[in-house]
Amino acid sequence: MKTFYLSIFVFALIVISQSSVRKYIAEEDYFRGFKAREFSIYCPERKTLHYRIESSWSYRYSIRLVVYPSKKTIGKLTASKKSKLFQGNFKLRNETTKSWSSGKIEQQHRRFGQNWTISWNETKFSMLTEPASFLTTFHDLEANQTAVGKFRLRLQSLLWVNVYDIEFNGTHESDSIFLLSFALKDHASQWKETH
């Protein structure tokens, strides 16, 4: 019987993940102490926890992307800062091949707004935010800068915890990369507020 329900669950997950647009809601934890912000990521509604973004300070700031319900870590990132610009090295786990592959997220100099570049296994993306905008967009740099995802800070966030609406429509494996990029960008803005 358990196996039966599990199969239905796995089947439901596959159906969700194959639809061309994936929508998530990312909600910051209310209590964070001195740590960087951590998030619960729900899909498609608040009820279903799909990922957690967890952070820690060791030698450097690091984040982990944990997938639910298995609670497996499928992404790891360590961040550093060089002459005012952030960069992060990340590793992603492929559940099929059980192997890790690595990539890089780098903040580029931009006079107004933000421009980050993401490279992973011969794919390249950019993550752009226009000045004074709550919207950040992802673009596939190998495919004529096609938009492949976005996230937007909800206005209520200014009063309470940060809540983001996220939409991804690239390949499925890019979701994890974009979530790590989202977390790094959020960390960069938090750092700016408190230093």
Site string for ligand NAG, 140-159 (x = CB under 6 A): ----x-xxx-x---------
C-alpha distance from residue 79 to each of 4, 18, 41, 170 (Å): 42, 31, 21, 24
How many angstroms separate the CA atoms of 62 and 161, rounded? 21
Question: First-to-last CA distance in the chain?
Answer: 54
Choice between 162 and 174, CB closer to ligand NAG: 174
Nearer to ligand NAG, 37 or 170 (CB): 170
Q: Name which position in 114, 117, 129, 181 contacts ligand NAG (CB under 6 A).
A: 117
Footprint of ligand NAG on 77-116 (CB under 6 A) = 94, 96-97, 101, 108, 110, 115
* Beta carbon nearer to ligand NAG, 38 or 103: 103
- Distances from the Cα of 171 to the Cαs of 80, 113, 156, 162, in angstroms? 28, 26, 30, 26
CA distance 179 to 176: 5
Q: Which residues bind ligand NAG (CB under 6 A)?
A: 94, 96-97, 101, 108, 110, 115, 117, 121-122, 126, 128, 144, 146-148, 150, 169, 172-173
